[in-house]
Structure 1
């Protein structure tokens, strides 16, 4: 379940003229569930997102991230029923309100995906997502993506478009896209992960595997490797056009649209540079590999414990067993309607 993207602003606006000596005033975010509340902290009158947890003891202060424009604190105030403590994500004076709102909505989305995880696990997910925003805010702005980054992002967004074309619900599709946030694979659900590799070469398909874990099957989750070969054609689409096509498709789904735009931020796509993306691409080949026991890759479990990490290259044109059919992938991926 995802929150209405305007619900936080509505909560903050409703509390804007209230007064309290200290502590929080808050309103439950109805569409996101009782765990989430929008509030104001007094006496500084700062906007906060409050997230409830049932934990025996609060997290240590050094665990809580803080960055440019926000801070994180823990409150044991009884702000809502059913939770023993509340983690407050608070906007700092002078911080960009729109960016903070996107960060808060992203935190809600991260914890709203159905999961069997414990309360401690959910807290770790929240902290990890906030740290990702911390890293993003401290990252120097590079403007336009390099061509390599452009091609990689085009491939991920194109695969997202394929999921939508297969009638995957937009909320499910966007929740699975974790590549821009440093996910192990580019698309992950509880049952499968899909790593997307994109190539512009007319012959050969070398891809870089960035870690021993990238193609590793974890917790019974299946792994697929998707390979997209692009050609530059005038009748194709630029990255900016592809992105705007998906935005148009997501307009009836504001939660998914907000998630899409936040993912683009993490990927380094700046709308102000849209006109600089002048290369038009067509997908000339799509191949899907199931990374099973016979797939040639390095697996941590089969290596000496002395090997701590590795980056290596695969030549996909030398590997048999690929398919163009997304059906089996969607069946295992668990996001088809």
Structure 2
């Protein structure tokens, strides 16, 4: 019993020293999980929805729906007028159509008006059909350094304001690799959300729209 209690104390101590995700990282993960929930609810990824969440594996885009399209997810504050784009590859559509999901959310003090990350994770787990999908989901959470067993996340509530979708096609405001001179790369930039208005769509489509370049 003494050994078990000592190990338990060590685990508690290590957990206390482990850093939580930053506020920005938590909101970003929240945004991706909300979009994953939409994909699950609407059956957009067929029988294997978790592999469609490709962002944790280092893909240029957060979601790839086989035979349909890709989705880049950007989380921002409820009243923000800009989206931050990390590099010139994020909004480049190559072999598939691309959609941009703009998730507006913020951390709130009143837990009753928001949802915690553990709650969102549990909601997704409850929709998965088999243990293999749950295990893969947990692996992807590990890849983004989210410790689903860390109870401190239960004290951080996030309120979702809206999710807007935009078709990233010819004319949409963006920078892609072909726009850059030789030797220039990893370009960070901002997009004004008002300039995305002509490309807004009511929801993610069930079928791929012919790529318009």
Report what 1:224 is aligned to. Answer: 99
For 1:185 and 1:284, how far apart are their aligned partners in 2?
23
1:178 aligns with 2:62: no
Structure 1 partner of 2:119 = 241
- Equivalent positions of 1:124-273 (< 5 A) are 142-168=18-44, 171-191=47-67, 192-200=69-77, 202-218=78-94, 220-231=95-106, 232=108, 234-250=112-128, 252-273=129-150
1:282 and 1:175 map into 2 onto residues whose CA distance is 26
Whether contact under 8 Å (1:225, 1:289) holds in the other structure is yes
Query: Which consecutive residues of structure 1, in runs of 5 or more, have no partner in the other structure?
Result: 1-140
Please give the TM-score of this superposition, normalised by the length of structure 1.
0.52
- Preserved contact between residue 45 and residue 52 of structure 2 (Cα < 8 Å): no
Residue deviations 1:264-313, cap 9 Å, x none?
Answer: 00011112323334232332221111110110111211332242331112
Q: State how many pairs are aligned.
A: 188
Of structures 1 and 2, the one scoring higher in RCO (CA 8 A, sep 6+) is 2
Q: 1:140-186 deviations in whole A, cap 9, x for unaligned?
A: x9431111110000011111111111134564321110111111100
How has the CA–CA distance of structure 1 residues 142 and 316 changed in structure 2, closer, same or farther, with 3 Å as cutoff?
farther
Kept in 2, the 8 Å contact 1:170–1:253? The answer is no
Aligned pairs (5 A) from 1:103-122:
none
Residue in structure 1 matched with residue 193 of structure 2 by the alignment: 316
Point out the structure with max Rg over C-alpha. Answer: 1
What are structure 2's unaligned runs of at least 5 residues? 1-16
Match of 1:75 in 2: none
Contact between 2:53 and 2:64, CA under 8 Å: does it hold in 1? yes
Asked if the contact 2:86/2:186 (under 8 Å) is kept, the reply is: no
Instruction: Verify the 8 A CA contact 2:166 2:201 in the aligned structure 1.
Output: yes
Q: Out of 261, 264, 283, which is 2:160 matched to?
A: 283
Task: Write out aligned runs for 1:30-41 (5 A).
Answer: none
Q: Which runs of 4+ in 1 moved over 6 A?
A: none
- Give the root-mean-square deviation of aligned CA atoms: 2.2
SS in 2 for 1:255: helix
| CA 1:300–1:160: 2 relative to 1, 3 Å | same
What's the CA shift for 1:225?
0.6
Give TM-score scaled by structure 2 length: 0.79
